[in-house]
Structure 1
Amino acid sequence: MRALRCLLVWVTALFIGVGGANAGGRVPEMERALDLARVVEVLRDEGLVYGNGLKTDMLSGQAGAYYDRRISDIYDPETMLDTLGSRIGAGLTEEQIDQSIAFFTSDRGKRIITLELDARVAITEPAVDEMAAQALSQAEEAQSSRVAMVDRFIDINDLTERNVSGALGANYRFYRGLVDGGSHRMGEGEILDLVWSEEDAIRADTDGWLRRFLFMAYSPLSEQDMQAYLEFSESETGQALNAALFDGFDRMYHTIYYALGRAVADELQASDL
């Protein structure tokens, strides 16, 4: 099975608060400022590609229109947004929401959001990913300060470990879906062994991808803007936001991956009839 791609890397720029008790009447303002409609669209597009990959990898490419509709329903934008918002808004105080809005509606914050989204879309192309890897390698050889700042950003937000944890949890739920759907027979211990056997590969893939993506995304930022972003991320507000984001992502992808497992299981069961 394919490992969960690092979908949790928009650490502080995206998915701030689309709902929740603490957000109050400022939610629409945050949605407009953060272009959340485009964010969810990007995640949905990635999900549809992933679902099609499962068709090739696990179903010999034989699944038909019903499977495609089911994958589309699993990655329903409104449901995804609701799931994220149910956790993120509740994870921030009024003051932290105000501080977050102030940062991300500034010219600096808007540029960060745009750079992250544009880079996220671009790097899905293998040629762009390769160029990002080459640019990072050259910067490392030149001992660029930007590489050090990207690595610090990853450390501040605990990106590698949080992503690995999220991927393992999502993969567990995928296998659980396969078993509950009746296409695979595995005990709990077998599922856990299978999930943990993927940990090292997921960690290596995650760390490398994060560094390539973030270096490409933030290269256009000035030193001052990058430093300000690091300081925000390290603040109490930035850390609270980071924790809320990962909580929302985990819940969203756990639900999605279980549903993907059930969809694949149902197709496998149908093919055996």
Structure 2
Amino acid sequence: MPKHLSLLKIVLSVLMAALLAVSLARGAKAEPTAQPVDALIEALRMPEIVDVLANEGRAMIDDLDRDDDGIPRSAWVNMLADLYRSDVMLEAFRVEMAKALDGVDVAPIVTFFETDLGRTIAQVELDARIAMGDEGMEDVAAQAWAELPADSPRALLIEDYVAANDLVEMNVVGAMNADYAYMIGLGQTGDAEAMPSDEDILREIWSYEPEVRADVSEWIYSYSTLAYESLSDDEFAQYIAFSKSAEGSKLNYALFATFDAVYSDLSRALGAGTGQLMQVFSGQEL
């Protein structure tokens, strides 16, 4: 099992943490209830973010433990290309987001992100998300966070922001759910009797929870340091106040709920696809 296959390069801030995945099992189509969410999707720059995540997903071939299993690289490339399609990912997000925000008036949320500050926030988060795809920049951001005095105004704001949105805990839970879904998908294509039980899968996943938590925490704080560097302390404080508001809390919940739903689907499909490749090309027992 590839540890944290779903993790480091997809963990995001409150606006990014919920993005995104392919809901292949559902084959979901947008419903009328999704329409009020369209303006929010645009305001949060979701189409551009989805492109980033789709590219990262397709590039995940370099992170897979392929060893000498006899599976051609082209087979992995084709499978990831099928899973990480920007158009399908965006549609899955739109449908799940509409479900998560059902009954919620999204107008005040959209209004915030259509202000000058809101537009700036959406832009700097997108820019930082792209930048963090480079290991060198990720190291720079991590160093910047490490060098911030713990009692400095900026460090305290970042701590407040992370706590207000429960970013570490929610991302750890989402990562664990995705890894569990991957193992379930993998088991769907193998000998059921040879697969570990649910209890064994959960025991293995939770055995490396401290490592996952440490990785997630480092990414979140590094990303936040980089993303909001250009904001003044007052602007950052305004954003945190929004996050703590009723509207901000509903958005945060909806984004994490969306992430959990669609990324579990994607991870399950990835596990099933991996199992199929192992069977077709190498006859390995799962």
Determine if the TM-score, normalized by the shorter chain, exceeds 0.5.
yes
2 CA distance for matches of 1:13 and 1:178?
A: 27
Residue 104 of structure 1 and its aligned partner are, at CA, apart by 0.5
State the SS of the aligned residue for 1:58.
coil
Please name the residue that 1:250 is paired with. 260
In the other structure, the counterpart of 1:215 is: 225
Aligned residue number for residue 173 of structure 2: 165
1:234 and 2:234 matched: no
Do the aligned partners of 1:63 and 1:267 also contact (CA within 8 Å) in 2?
A: no
In 2, Cα distance between the equivalents of 1:248 and 1:90?
Answer: 8
Distance in 2 (CA, whole Å) between partners of 1:193 and 1:36 is 35
Q: Secondary structure of 2:199's match? A: helix
Q: Return the structure number with greater helix share.
A: 1
Q: Which runs of structure 2 are paired with 1:128-143 in the superposition (5 Å)? A: 128-140=137-149, 143=151
How many Å separate the matches in 2 of 1:15 and 1:193? Answer: 25
Tell me if structure 2 keeps the 8 A contact 1:67–1:263: no
Equivalent of residue 70 in structure 1, options 61, 73, 79: 79
CA 1:53 to 1:42, structure 2 compared with 1: closer, same or farther past 3 Å?
A: same
Deviation at 1:196, TM superposition (A): 1.1
Structure 1 residue ranges without an equivalent (≥5): none
User: Which of 70-79 and 177-186 deviates more?
Assistant: 177-186
Shift of 1:94: 6.9
User: Which residue pairs with 1:116 in the alignment?
Assistant: 125
Cα separation, 2, equivalents of 1:106 and 1:28? 17
Paired residue for 1:36? 46
C-alpha distance in 2, partners of 1:213/1:14? 11
**Whole-Å separation in 2 of the counterparts to 1:266 and 1:91:** 33
- Residue by residue over 1:103-124, the C-alpha shift from the partner in whole angstroms, topping out at 9 and shown as x without a partner, is 1011111111111111111112
Alignment-mate amino acid for residue 162 of structure 1: M
Summarize the alignment of residues 1-273 of structure 1 with structure 2, pairs less than 5 Å apart. Answer: 1-3=2-4, 4-6=6-8, 7-12=10-15, 24=35, 26-54=36-64, 57-60=65-68, 62-92=71-101, 96-140=105-149, 143-182=151-190, 185-273=195-283
Rounded to whole Å, the distance in 2 between the matches of 1:88 and 1:170 is: 18
Q: Taking structure 1 as reference, are residues 114 and 64 closer, same or farther at Cα in structure 2, changes over 3 Å only?
A: same
CA separation in 2, counterparts of 1:38 and 1:182?
37
Change in Cα spacing, 1:173 to 1:116, as seen in structure 2 (3 Å) is same
| 3-state SS in 2 of match to 1:140 | coil
CA distance in 1: counterparts of 2:281 and 2:245, whole angstroms: 53
- Cα distance, 1:28 vs. partner? 4.0
Percent identity over the alignment? 29
Count residues with an aligned counterpart: 268
Q: Which string of whole-angstrom CA distances, capped at 9 and with x for unpartnered residues, describes residues 122-163 of structure 1?
A: 11212111111221122126x321111111111111111100
TM-score (norm 1): 0.89
Question: What is the CA distance between 1:67 and its match in structure 2?
Answer: 2.7
The whole-number CA distance in structure 1 between the counterparts of 2:42 and 2:198 is 44
